Structure 1
Amino acid sequence: MSEIDGKVVAITGASSGLGEATARYLAAKGAKIVLGARREEKLEIIASDINKNGGSAIHLKMDVTNRAEVKALADMAVREFGRLDVFVNNAGLMAIAPLQALKVDEWDRMIDINIKGVLYGIAAALPVFEDQESGHFINISSVAGLKVFSPGGTVYSGTKYAVRAISDGLRHEVGKKIRTTTLEPGAIASELQSGTSHKESVDILNEFYKIAIPAETVAKAIAFAIEQPMDVDINEIALRPTIQDF
């Protein structure tokens, strides 16, 4: 039996890309999936597909910038399945543009989603994990959290460096019984590159993402971290296309 079988996994940003791929992949391995995202119609389709294929999935329309809604996702997992084993802080925004473009609204949005959204996920799941004396956070950073993405990625990289710092601190504080894994993906096929309104940056990203590898690549890395024995904590996984050189 897989270590994933029967585990209750909540995923933010689950309506597409990495979140959707992770939901489908873990469900196929026997996990009970709690899907959260803003686009309810997409969540309904994904949950329906999982359930039709013999898996178990429920969903909730929610926004990671709303703390109460993130808590509601964790609460739904406990209410419907009796526990919560893994919380995947996946929702993210990549709005690439030079600082001189002064896309301040997009800076604010990235901070709200990429940093505060992760913190809200921690705030929602940590009390549950502490009561259970077990649990696993999967926090999605980026290779841009290892090296500043240039040109145009200064603020985005800043948010993803923050995810790594928060994850490291969380691990030090609660790591005796609660696991924390940070993933740093490179170019992965998803909707992430469509997050900016800066035309020149859109063109650069569209060209760059021609090397992207499937979102299921990240799902497999997440599964690897989850399926380790409880006395093994996979701290970080960086993955990118072989051809990607940063």
Structure 2
Amino acid sequence: MTSAKTSLLTGRPLDGRVAVVTGASSGMGAATARRLAELGAAVAVVARRKEKLDALAADIASTRGRVLVLPVDVTDRVAVRTAADQVAAELGPADLVFNNAGVQLISAIDELKVDDWQRQIDLNVTGVMNVIAAFLPHLTAAADRGAAADLINMSSIAATRILEKYSIYSGTKAYISHLTRLIRIELGRKNVRVSAIEPGMVDTELPDHVTDPDASALMSGLLHDIECLRDTDVAETVAFITALPRHVNISELTILPTAQPI
């Protein structure tokens, strides 16, 4: 839970809004779902691990938050479209989408770990596009009726940093960052705010997926040497972006631990 010490927002500035959070079973997704609910939004939590979503939903419901559990693999386009229909039917059309699901698998390019390459492309690129396709009609409808509408895509500083062995992961995140810049031109005219968040080192389970020894050493060194971002820091950033007045769009935001050198 976000502490009063780090909280930028008070009250319920997101009352009446309907949020969708993908990758919600842990880390930044779970923390963001909790924070948006705390600020008044009804929240649909989306991920593959139903047992973790159920635990998150119980946590949110215990503070009188309104939550919908959707155990969905975002790489399945039909399933994501069905989930969008469920959100509309049970909570109302979404006006806030945190497109957060992703995976990080690091290896040297000449190791030819093509299954890992494909998994990252499927989730980090195709999954993101499936969510946009399913929920964009919700967002444009919200904007048409004069409400705030937010699409926030989770990228990474890896989108712009040159990090050895991160080629496929970095490529997927570079796609997300540039996609966000491009679609903002179209959707901004429709009063849909589009944002990319590019965090540095966050203390979540994502590094647990990394098996490459050099990348693991880099991450464990950072975790040991500096105070890394917490998932609640990212959650607070999402909350801040979405609570701004409708005419204000933070289109791209890099958030780093103060002491992170790269």
TM interval, shorter chain, is over 0.9
Residue of structure 1 equivalent to 2:241: 225
What is the Cα deviation at residue 231 of structure 1?
0.9
- Out of 26, 37, 53, the residue aligned to residue 27 of structure 1 is 37
1:155 Cα deviation after fit: 1.1
> What letter matches 2:81 in structure 1?
K
Alpha-carbon offset, residue 73 of structure 1: 2.7
Structure 2 counterpart SS, 1:6: coil
1:147 aligns with 2:161: yes
List per-residue Cα deviations over 1:140-184 (Å, max 9, x = no partner).
Answer: 000111223x22111111110100111111111111211101000
Equivalence for 2:13? 3
**Contact persistence 2:16–2:42 (CA under 8 A):** yes
Conserved? CA contact 2:19–2:95, under 8 Å: yes
Q: Give the Å deviation of 1:200.
A: 4.2
Query: In 2, distance between residues paired with 1:84 and 1:234?
Result: 19
| Cα drift, residue 218 of structure 1 | 0.3
Tell me if structure 2 keeps the 8 A contact 1:3–1:226: no
SS in structure 1 of the partner of residue 151 of structure 2: strand
SS in 2 for 1:138: strand
What CA distance in whole angstroms lies between the structure 2 residues aligned with 1:156 and 1:209?
A: 20
TM-score, reference length from structure 2: 0.89
What amino acid does structure 2 have at the position aligned with 1:185? P
Unaligned runs of 5+ in 2: 1-10
- Tell me, in whole angstroms, the C-alpha distance in 1 between the residues paired with 2:200 and 2:85: 32
- CA deviations 1:89-111 (Å, max 9, x no partner) are 10011111111222111111111
2:4 is aligned to none
SS at match of 2:32: helix
Aligned residues: 245
In 2: Cα distance, 1:58 partner to 1:69 partner: 15
Secondary structure at 1:55 match in 2: coil
Q: 2:196 aligns with which of 182, 185, 209?
A: 182
Q: What residue in structure 1 maps to residue 255 of structure 2?
A: 239
Shifted more, 218-227 versus 81-90: the winner is: 81-90
Matches within 5 A, 1:49-64: 49-64=59-74
Q: What SS class does the counterpart of residue 218 from structure 1 fall into? A: helix
* Aligned-pair Cα RMSD in Å: 1.5
Q: Measure, in 2, the Cα distance between the counterparts of 1:91 and 1:110.
A: 11
Q: Which position in structure 2 is the counterpart of 1:171?
A: 184
Length-normalised TM-score, structure 1: 0.94
